[in-house]
Amino acid sequence: MNETLRVIKRRRSIREYKPEQITDSELEAVLEAAIQAPSAMNQQKWHFTVIQNKDVLAKLTDVARESMKAGPEPMANRAAQPDFSPFYHAPTVIIITGDSTSRFVEIDCSLAAQNIALAAESLNIGSCIMTSPELIFESRKGAELLKELGVPDGYAHVCTVTLGYIDGDSPPAKPRNKEVFTYVK
Ligand SMILES: Cc1cc2nc3c(=O)[nH]c(=O)nc-3n(C[C@H](O)[C@H](O)[C@H](O)COP(=O)(O)O)c2cc1C
């Protein structure tokens, strides 16, 4: 197996992070990988908001807590935990937004997210691609925060990627269904 295949196989969604920050050169390498993703007609109608500021992460956590309070019981209970973090306490959070008028923008942004996750894995950095933060950005406060954070007008949240050094061991791979291939030779 070559290194690319090894990295693809090794990547897991990480939900426990060390508090120490990844280096700027690691972050730049990961972001460069993001924009190397293919995009429909090379439109690149994506935007990456990299958040490492603790106050901003705390603000996003407050908005998430508020939105989740009104949700189903397990969600409300999770948000009520004193150490709740919608981002699993990752020190770096990348919010990926895309131009809502662009037909394939969700695919473009998802490919960029996977590039981020794989580049991170290749650098021994953990990641988790998440859609649940959309709860934050659906709320009025969350939408205002997106604007304050410089997300371009007309761009909406597609997914968020958490990044950080893994605390402990990477979890084992969840089983994959292998009955999903049809060969037409
Ligand atoms: C579109 C998408 C949305 C996801 N949203 C979340 C999420 O909100 N929270 C979370 O903890 N994991 C989320 N995940 C991670 C999946 O749970 C994870 O990829 C899956 O369980 C397989 O595990 P693995 O990534 O470790 O192989 C998401 C993954 C994808 C592709």
Q: Which domains does the chain have, with CATH numbers?
A: 3-164 (3.40.109.10)
Distance 184 CA to ligand 1 centre (A): 30
Q: Among 60, 67, 89, 130, which is best to mutate for testing ligand 1, by the most ligand atoms less than 8 A from CB?
A: 130
Residue 70's pLDDT is 85
Give the C-alpha separation, 60 to 65, whole Å: 9
Tokens 């190397």 belong to 36
| Whether the Cβ atoms of residue 27 and residue 90 lie closer than 8 Å to each other | no
Q: Which of 15, 128, 137, 161 gets mutated to test ligand 1 (max ligand atoms within 8 A of its CB)?
A: 128
Please report which residue ranges of the chain form alpha helices under DSSP H. 3-10, 24-35, 54-69, 73-80, 105-122, 134-138, 140-148
Instruction: Provide φ and ψ at 171, rounded to 5°.
Output: -65, 155
C-alpha 80/C-alpha 140 separation (Å) is 21
Give the distance (Å) from ligand 1 centre to CA of residue 14: 9
- Protein residues whose CB sits closer than 6 Å to any atom of ligand 1: 12-13, 15, 128-132, 174
Q: Give the Cα-Cα-Cα angle 165, 75, 131 (nearest 5 degrees).
A: 55
Split the chain (185 residues) into runs of 10 and give each run's mean pLDDT: 97 98 98 98 98 97 92 90 95 98 97 98 98 94 94 97 97 97 98
**Residue of 95, 34, 105, 31 whose CA lies nearest to 63:** 95
pLDDT of residue 62: 95
pTM beyond 0.85: yes
55 Cα: distance to centroid of ligand 1 (angstroms): 26
